[in-house]
Chains A and B, each alone.
Chain A
Amino acid sequence: MHGPSVPNVLYKYLKQRGQIQNWQKPNGVNRKKMKGKRKQPESLILTRQAFKRPESLTDVPFHFCPGCHHGIAHRLVAEAIDFFGIQGKTIGVASVGCSVFLYDYFNIDVVEAPHGRASAVAAGVKRARKDRMVFTYQGDGDLASIGIAEVVHTANRGENITIIFANNGVYGMTGGQMAPTTLLGQKTTTSPYGRDFAQDGYPIRMAEMLATLEGSAFVARVAVNNPANLMKAKKAVRRAFQMQIEEMGFSFVEFILACPTNWSLSAVEANQRVEDQMIPYFPLGILKERKMADYL
């Protein structure tokens, strides 16, 4: 299989912190020593931190609204960077929207792109530095509206980059205007009577569109509204990065994210709306996965 397995990564992670002996002990030595002793030894097994910020995230609190899913998506991307141990070899491209502060949260080199142009910028970065991991993080207004030409041609050229596409169906940063992914009937600040197909057309399914292009190697749509979906999302991001490491071409992961603020819902209701309304229109799953054989 490609890439290191999970235990290897943990091993590496602990080794970096000089905690490696404490990690090995639980499987044997320490337990034997514990036998017959009433008092729980002060072993680091129990004090080992089970939950920690990924190395690739800075120690800065997210500015995102309560119940927003961006933070989770950010974390999954950071975890994937850590998984491959490539924090020092990754270059991020920030877009315009709620995702613009990428450089505040990720502990990596970042360049800011003009609105919609992140995929073109990423292509330029990657052509200049082929040995670096390059990814963009773009919202639906940025990618599916103003930047649609750039993303389609970036995919079509098979640029060896990864795009994380955050689809929450609204322009978040500017105050909840209608996006190309806004669902029919959905009320936003610029579709106050609900999106009407006769006037505004239909919500765009970006993942499906990009999957038709020969240049794209991996296209998936994921959500983070429940633990099962979150685990799939984590896997998809990892797979997308792996595709890039193996130089298979363009990889794309669409996240269906909740935006409680601009949906005028509570955090819990927004999470439920992802399941009830978003996922039926934007079905989850892997739409395209190139095998090495197709590539050759």
Chain B
Amino acid sequence: MERELVKGNEAQAMGAIDAGCLLYFGYPITPQNEIPEYLSKHLPRLGGEFIQAESEIASINMLLGASAAGIRAMTSSSSPGISLMQEGISYMAGSELPAVIVNMSRSGPGLGGIAPSQGDYFQATRGGGHGDYRMIVLAPSSVQEMYDLTLRAFDLADTYRNPVLILGDSLIGQMKEPMVRRSPKKKKAIPKPWALTGAEGRKPNILKSLYLKDGELTQHNWKLHEKYQRIREKEVLFEARGVDEANMVVVAFGSIARIVKTAMGMAADEGLKVGLFRPITLFPFPQEALHSISRSIKVFLTVELNTGQMVEDVELSAKRDAQVHFYGRPPGSIPTPEEILEEIKQYYPR
């Protein structure tokens, strides 16, 4: 298979096409514009459609409609736009509708800036909108992963009838790297007997999130909870690099994990045994894996492009048996590998 030099955002769009996505709805916002631009060019040729919506609110609701009709569809945006979509995402989670949503996040709060940031971790992993629901959250750390995780996102969405969020930032989205576009295997389409196709020859299908009858909503929420538990059991993804021989483990996801890797190399040159633990699924968070590592390794350093969000999940997983330290960088600048190396040295067990 041929290697191509591709931008992260384009890799995401290519993944969507290869996953059989036929409809895209979106509203312009930096730094994700390459996704709608690519799809507006390529979807019509493939028998699909690109629709530029009047707002992110409209985008997510068009996606809700297309998804209800049983078609693979997606939207993409960046932080403020994703905030506007939260109502629709909550409805989709409540109505159990599959969807792929990409957040190439900006830095906030408010209009913030367009520099890389991981300030949307809480919004992504805690549901984001109203009600007790979760999205599956995938955090690519390379252009290849932008592509691979997009293919996976569509399958996960259909399998679990749940929205899936791909969370990246401009560092991943705007960067060019070699990538292999896998020829999509002809997989059996996941059946959607619940989809709205017109009730010909069957009982009408109803997709809704309103449950007013006594006990109905309780039951519905338990059903959703069981689904999230199944996802927690089956769908955890992470990368553990050099953890077995390490004296200390750095936990980082997405864009910042790349800088951590460079810092790890520098640490190795100085004879320090440092491992990297990189969650690829932020929900479900790899809690068990991290917990079992914490039985043998006693020092953890969480590095994030925010003032401390994922570190709470790391603490929940590892704090009983190990020390969990944090190094955060709020948006506006990116730490250099040297700066991270300094932090590693500060906490490295002697």
For the complex, give the distance between the alpha carbons of A140 and B198 in Å. Answer: 27
Whether B87 pairs with A149 at a CB distance below 8 angstroms is: no
Q: Which of A109-117, A181-189, A201-209, A266-274 contacts B (4 or more CB under 8 A)?
A: A109-117
- Which residues from chain A contact B62 at a C-beta distance below 8 Å? 120-121, 123-124, 127
Interface assignment of B197: CB less than 8 Å from any CB of chain A: yes
Q: Is B208 located at the chain interface by the 8 A CB criterion?
A: yes
Contact call B64/A109, Cβ cutoff below 8 A: no
Q: Of B49, B197, B198, B208, which contacts A103 at CB under 8 A?
A: B208
Whether A132 is near chain B, meaning CB under 8 Å from some CB there, is: yes
A: contact size bracket: 35 or more
**Least Cβ distance of A157 to chain B in Å?**
8
Q: Hey, which chain B residues are within 8 Å of A125, CB to CB?
A: 65-66, 68-69, 196
The reply to whether the CB of B70 lies closer than 8 angstroms to some CB of chain A is yes
Contact check, B63 vs A124: say whether CB atoms are below 8 A apart: yes
Q: Are B61 and A150 in contact (CB under 8 A)?
A: yes
Whole-angstrom CA separation of A129 from B196 in the bound complex: 9
Q: Are A124 and B207 in contact (CB under 8 A)?
A: no
Residues of chain B in range 31-82 having any CB-CB distance to chain A below 8 Å: 49, 51, 53-55, 57-58, 61-71, 73
Shortest beta-carbon distance from B210 to chain A in Å: 6
A124-B54 in contact given A88-B201, A91-B69, A109-B197 (Cβ < 8 Å): no
Q: Does B26 contact A (CB under 8 A)?
A: no
Q: Is the CB of A109 within 8 A of B65?
A: no
Contacts of B63 in A (CB 8 A): 124
Considering only residues 146-186 of chain B, those with a C-beta below 8 Å from chain A are: none
Task: Name the residue in B64, B65, B87 with the highest tally of chain A Cβ atoms < 10 Å from its Cβ.
Answer: B65
Q: Are B61 and A120 in contact (CB under 8 A)?
A: yes
Most buried by B among A89, A124, A127: A124
Given the known A-B contacts A91-B69, A125-B69, A127-B23, are A111 and B199 also in contact in the complex, defined by CB atoms under 8 Å? no
Other A-B contacts than A91-B197, A117-B64, A124-B68, 9 sampled, CB-CB below 8 A, are: A89-B198, A93-B65, A94-B208, A109-B198, A111-B64, A114-B91, A121-B64, A124-B73, A127-B51
Closest 10 pairs between A and B when the two form their complex, measured CB to CB: A124-B65, A88-B200, A124-B62, A128-B69, A120-B61, A112-B208, A121-B65, A128-B71, A153-B54, A117-B61
Residue numbers of A with Cβ under 8 A of B are 86-91, 93-94, 100, 103, 106-114, 117, 120-129, 132-133, 149-150, 152-153, 157
30 A–B contact pairs at CB < 8 A? A87-B199, A89-B200, A103-B206, A109-B206, A110-B207, A111-B65, A111-B68, A111-B196, A111-B208, A112-B95, A114-B88, A117-B61, A120-B58, A120-B61, A121-B65, A121-B68, A124-B61, A125-B65, A127-B23, A127-B51, A127-B62, A127-B65, A128-B69, A129-B197, A132-B69, A132-B197, A149-B54, A150-B61, A153-B54, A153-B58
